[in-house]
Amino acid sequence: MRILVTGGCGFIGSNFIRHILSRYPDYSIVNLDALTYAGNPENLRDIQDDIRYTFVKGRIEDAALVSRLMERVDSVVHFAAESHVDRSIVDAQPFLMTNVIGTYTMLDAARKASVRRFVHISTDEVYGALGDTGRFDEETPLRPNSPYAASKASGDLLVRSFHETFGFPAVIVRPSNNYGPYQYPEKLIPLMITNLFEGKRVPVYGEGKNVRDWLFVEDNCRAIDLILHNGRTGETYNVGGDGERRNIEIVREVVKMMEKDEASITFVKDRPGHDFRYALDNSKIERELGWRPLVDGEKGLEETIGWYRNNEWWWRPLKERLYSESKGFWTA
């Protein structure tokens, strides 16, 4: 199989490419990435000379480029997205361009090229926020609460419309909060790990009571692999980690694992529209595809801490870039 992966130099995309090439020796991958701030070629340094792997620098909004690439592949896995909520609050335009216009461009080109499968990677944030109980299932109405989530929900609706209007062979994947190796250090878990390595404090929004469902990235890659090969066309699949934790609980656990004390934690002003709780019902993907998360929270955090400990060459330049951009949240 020949797969076009968009955003393959990002966190989840790079882990997925590595997963596919290690599992399927006869597959090849074309990676289309614009190399914006979170797209890092170093994420794939270990496979850059693999003859099955081709990198193309470009934007998913570039219709001519995307159309040429579609003629070379059988399937598409579409990760490319602007994805940081804080940045969307400051300036939503890049999110609209990439997550809406870019997704439309991809869909249009893929339909015209008659690709066999189009897997669109979304997020649990499109559902909005939960109270203290319940879980989102695939039939939950979309109620996004941030510009980022609204842009992703818009992309989801475009994907749905292409399936309903044209019979286009698309599938939507909505994972919960991923963590693991190669995650850009503006996100909570890599931010606190690298801050602690640097002797800096860990910033926590509000009182840290917001609840997230944490999913180790390799578990997510296994799920996307199954959906690519066996998911039902036109369907949406939630992919949750069965790992609900309050943010402050995750922070305290990492602080303890890294042999620091709670003086390392600092609470900062909460961001606008901060969703209280996300939790996903995995029943559908478990029932239809036999998937369930294999990596529990403690094991996943230990592996993640170990990876950042052993790969300072990777994250140190990225942290320096964050420091140069902001004197606020990231440098607390």
Mean pLDDT of 192-199: 96
Buried b (16+ CB within 10 A) or exposed e, 187-209: bbbbbbbbbbbeebbbbbbeebe
Whether 70 shows a pLDDT value over 70: the answer reads: yes
Average confidence score pLDDT of the chain = 94
Measured CA to CA, the distance from residue 175 to residue 197 in angstroms comes to 29
CATH class of 185-212+244-276+296-331: alpha beta
Q: What digits encode the pLDDT tens for the residues 307-327?
A: 999 999 999 999 988 777 664
Band of pLDDT at residue 303, cut at 50, 70 and 90: very high
Q: What digits encode the pLDDT tens for the residues 225-276?
A: 999 999 999 999 999 998 889 999 999 999 999 999 989 999 998 878 788 8
Q: Which one is catalytic: 53, 104, 127, 148?
A: 148
Whether 6 shows a pLDDT value over 70: the answer reads: yes
Could you give the C-alpha distances from 53 to 17, 21, 45, 75, in angstroms and in order? 9, 8, 11, 15
Q: What is the pLDDT of residue 326?
A: 60
| DSSP state for residue 314 in the 8-state scheme | H
Mean pLDDT of 133-154: 96
Q: Which one is catalytic: 33, 61, 82, 124?
A: 124
pTM above 0.75, yes or no: yes
Q: What digits encode the pLDDT tens for the residues 112-138?
A: 999 999 999 999 999 999 988 899 999
Instruction: Identify whether 298 is a catalytic site residue.
Output: no
- In the chain, domain spans: 2-178+215-239, 185-212+244-276+296-331
Instruction: Identify whether 125 is a catalytic site residue.
Output: yes
Instruction: Identify whether 253 is a catalytic site residue.
Output: no
Mean pLDDT of 276-291: 95
Whether 48 shows a pLDDT value over 80: the answer reads: yes
In what helix (H) or strand (E) does residue 205 lie, and over which residues does it extend? strand 202-205
Q: What digits encode the pLDDT tens for the residues 22-39?
A: 999 999 999 999 999 889
Mean pLDDT of 158-187: 97
Q: Kindly write down the DSSP assignment for every residue of 105-124, as one continuous string.
A: HHHHHHHHTT-SEEEEE--G
Residues above pLDDT 90, as percent of the chain: 85
Measured CA to CA, the distance from residue 99 to residue 152 in angstroms comes to 6
Q: Which one is catalytic: 33, 125, 156, 219?
A: 125
What is the CATH number that goes with domain 2-178+215-239? Answer: 3.40.50.720
Three-state secondary-structure class, residue 251 = helix
Band of pLDDT at residue 329, cut at 50, 70 and 90: very low
Residues above pLDDT 70, as percent of the chain: 98
